Amino acid sequence: MEFKRLTPYKDALSMVINDIQEVGEEKIKLEDAAGRVLAEDIVASFDLPPFDRSAVDGYAIRAEDTFQAREYSPIELEVIEEVPAGASPSMEITPGKAIKVLTGAKIPKGANAVIMQEMVKRENNKIYVLRPVAPGQNIAFAGEDVKKGEIVLKKGSILRAQDLAMLKALGIRKVSVKKRPRVGIIITGSELVDEPDEEAFRSGKIVETNSIMLINLVERYFGEPIFYGVTPDEEEEIREKIERAKEECDLVLVTGGSAFGDKDYAHKFVNLLFHGTTIKPGRPIGYGERVFIMSGYPVAVFVQFHLFVKHALAKMVGAKNYEIKVKAIIEEDVPSQLGRYEFIKVYYEEGRAKVVKKKGSGIISSLVRSNGYLTIPEDSEGHRRGEEVWITLY
């Protein structure tokens, strides 16, 4: 038995995305929020900086007082206060007066500029200004970073170090993020063993590698992996595990059993929206009822993850910009079969992409030696060497 019909990739992906529901949200501490996805727009509840502050160590003054200053005829100003670090000025600037401030200090009333301390001569409580100072100089004005009411971070942002700094600056200590979707991972196959010992070699077993790969991919793309172990090709056991994982998880990944071999049970236990697509490699994939029935081959699993599961997880958490796409010159011809949506592994470096040549779903080394992929849709015959292509990095 073969696939009666291969669903075109984009159609299959749409069926998945339309079926997938977003997960709920939770409020967590900023310290734990790196890499999480914002569940709400963040609006500034006050200006940043909250008041005009000095950008340098120096003297707060009225710029007008310095307009006549020249090297040969300095202007003298009286220093009426010295504000220590972390304190505020208590005096007000009037004509002819100056207040010493440190970087970050509040600008005293009446001042409209700060002159750097390196630019003046100080003698006792006098400073001598040699050049005119422009109004606003060395002042960080209230709201110049962020205005009250401004949206600083949008729902769907993946939080990075600098975003967390911004949230902290705005007085936010807990933030609403999307929950990590619980992703059940079920590996099937009687031929699978955990270690490649002599016995395994003699009896023709295969070392199971999909679990560690999927656990790490799921973690990287917003999910919490829950591993249900390796199941031999026993119809009842597979059925039970899928049922249990569906109850306990938001999404379930089953590897093995997606084709039509005598022992390919998994696809029988789920009402699939599609089964078999035009992607190459990785054609035998099915999806339905929040369950992906995936191939048993590591390379096919990896491709199916990037072409389907990654996008499903991003939809579940509402993540934006979760892929890095770069332009590259392709270094050789990439012919492609019409009717196939091809996933071509490449090694990208500084604007150039080399095709990683070894083919075959079992060739893990091709994944190790690549760092991204390009795709060629069903209606394209591929690319010529030297053409510019889009690479998605992984």
Q: Which of 74, 224, 326, 377 binds a copy of itself (CB under 8 A)?
A: 326
Nearer residue to a copy of itself within complex by CB, 150 or 243:
150
Answer yes or no whether residue 259 interacts with a copy of itself by CB under 8 A.
yes
Q: What are phi and psi of 393, to 5 degrees?
A: -85, 145
Q: Smallest distance from the beta carbon of 306 to a copy of itself, in angstroms?
A: 11
| CA–CA dist 288, 20 (Å, integer) | 10
| Number of neighbouring beta carbons within 10 Å of residue 75 | 20
| CA–CA dist 189, 23 (Å, integer) | 31
Nearer residue to a copy of itself within complex by CB, 288 or 306:
306
Stretch 139-158: interaction string toward a copy of itself, x if CB under 8 A: -x---xxx-----xx-----
Q: Which of 361, 373, 375, 389 binds a copy of itself (CB under 8 A)?
A: 361
| Number of neighbouring beta carbons within 10 Å of residue 90 | 10
Q: Which residues of 277-310 are buried (b: 16+ CB within 10 A; e: fewer)?
A: bbbbbbbbbbbbebbbbbbbbbbbbbbbbbbbbb
Nearer residue to a copy of itself within complex by CB, 66 or 210:
210
Q: Smallest distance from the beta carbon of 107 to a copy of itself, in angstroms?
A: 9
Nearer residue to a copy of itself within complex by CB, 14 or 321:
321
Of 329, 377, 388, which is closest to residue 354 (Cα–Cα)? 329
Q: Smallest distance from the beta carbon of 73 to a copy of itself, in angstroms?
A: 24
**Which window, 12-20, 188-196, 273-281, 334-342, contacts a copy of itself (CB under 8 A)?**
188-196
What residues from 54 to 93 belong to the interface with a copy of itself (CB under 8 A)? 55, 57, 84-89
Size of the site for a copy of itself (CB under 8 A): 99
Structure token digits, residue 341? 């949506």
**Which window, 129-137, 185-193, 240-248, 310-318, contacts a copy of itself (CB under 8 A)?**
185-193
Facing residues of 373 across strands?
345, 392
Amino acid at 1: M
